[in-house]
């Protein structure tokens, strides 16, 4: 929680000062009380009341003051609100290295299954597109709210060829409306990270950053991945981390299908909402006024005076 006018919080110092003055007044009242000969008899006849009750109205009053002072400081809280008409492009590596079976049943099938889960969790208002790349890139589906079209496009993917990561990112950017009034957008790049051809991926990521389109990268695979029975194809998470950093996004690593699904779920919650600061002054002011009214009413009813 933050405050728009934090200087008013200095007023909270009045609360402990007031408590100290109240306790001092109670002590002085007991010291200088006038004693009457019939007081013991009257005390026996009157119903006994717990001593703590005399402090309740003052304690409630202190809480009321604290609430009202906090309201003056204009407290703010950050909440996640849905992003209407935001766009996310899923960019999937379909190079030959994605046939490695170190992630069951293989890297590409695990990526496709996780993308299905992402589509299940994505808000209906979220526009989702799909791009695939190997030696080159192709737009499978421009951003749309029809998530079933995206699912169908991803379902026909096969893996072969090289890895033109930069071309895939460029195609994703072109599929977005990058005009001045473009809604919020992001790219999710899933790859084993080893670029072999095409445009420099970091350069394209820097362009995405200038357009305020963060790239979230997911490195899929383990160092033990092989294709054709002998060719080692370890992932390159560092290359993907550089892409994410250049664009202002985040980098993730996933060594199995379950981890990949968890990453997509996390991304879905981030991309489907945005952080918004809202002022909650009214809540503190209302609570303070209610407590103030309770303190005054309790004091008058119980003791016939104000606290």
Domain regions of the chain by residue span:
2-78+278-303, 84-271
- Rounded to an integer, the average pLDDT of 25-36 is 59
- Specify the CATH architecture of the domain 84-271: 3-Layer(aba) Sandwich (3.40)
Tokens of 118: 């992402």
pTM: 0.61
- Per-residue pLDDT, 289: 73
What mean pLDDT comes out for the span 180-209?
86
Convert the pLDDT of each residue in 254-289 to its tens digit. 765 566 666 666 666 566 555 666 666 777 677 767
Q: For 41-68, write each residue's pLDDT tens digit.
A: 544 454 555 565 666 767 777 777 777 7
Q: How far is CA 96 from the centre of its chain?
A: 36
DSSP H stretches of helix in the chain = 14-31, 39-45, 56-72, 107-121, 147-155, 165-175, 201-210, 237-247, 257-271, 281-303
Six-digit token pair at 97?
């290295």
Give the residue-averaged pLDDT of 178-206: 83
Instruction: Map residue 35 onto helix, strand or coil.
Output: coil
How many whole angstroms separate alpha carbon 287 and alpha carbon 282? 8
């Amino acid at each position: 929680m933050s405050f728009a006018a934090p200087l008013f919080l200095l007023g909270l110092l009045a609360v402990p000062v007031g408590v100290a003055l109240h306790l001092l007044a109670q002590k002085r009242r007991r010291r200088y009380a006038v004693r009457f000969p019939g007081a013991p008899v009257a005390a026996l006849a009157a119903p006994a009341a717990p001593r703590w009750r005399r402090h309740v109205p003052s304690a409630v009053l202190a809480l009321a003051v604290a609430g009202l002072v906090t309201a003056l400081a204009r407290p703010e809280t950050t909440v996640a609100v849905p992003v209407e008409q935001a766009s996310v492009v899923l960019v999937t590596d379909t190079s030959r290295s994605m046939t490695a079976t170190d992630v069951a049943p293989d890297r590409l099938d695990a990526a496709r299954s996780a993308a299905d889960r992402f589509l299940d969790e994505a808000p209906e208002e979220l526009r989702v597109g799909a791009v695939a790349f190997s030696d080159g890139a192709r737009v499978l589906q421009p951003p749309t709210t029809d998530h079933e079209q995206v699912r169908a496009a991803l379902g026909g993917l096969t893996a072969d060829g090289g890895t033109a990561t930069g071309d895939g990112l460029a195609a994703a950017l072109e599929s977005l409306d990058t005009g001045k009034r473009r809604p919020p957008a992001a790219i999710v790049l899933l790859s084993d990270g080893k670029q072999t051809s095409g445009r420099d991926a970091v350069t394209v990521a820097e362009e995405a950053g200038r357009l305020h389109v963060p790239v979230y990268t997911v490195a899929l695979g383990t160092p033990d991945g092989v294709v054709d029975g002998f060719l080692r194809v370890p992932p390159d998470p560092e290359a993907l981390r550089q892409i994410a950093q250049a664009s202002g996004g985040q980098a993730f690593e996933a060594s199995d299908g379950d981890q990949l699904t968890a990453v997509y779920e996390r991304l879905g919650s981030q991309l489907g909402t945005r952080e918004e600061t809202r002022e909650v002054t009214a809540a503190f002011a209302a609570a303070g006024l209610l407590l103030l009214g309770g303190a005054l009413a309790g004091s008058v009813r119980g003791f016939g005076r104000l606290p």
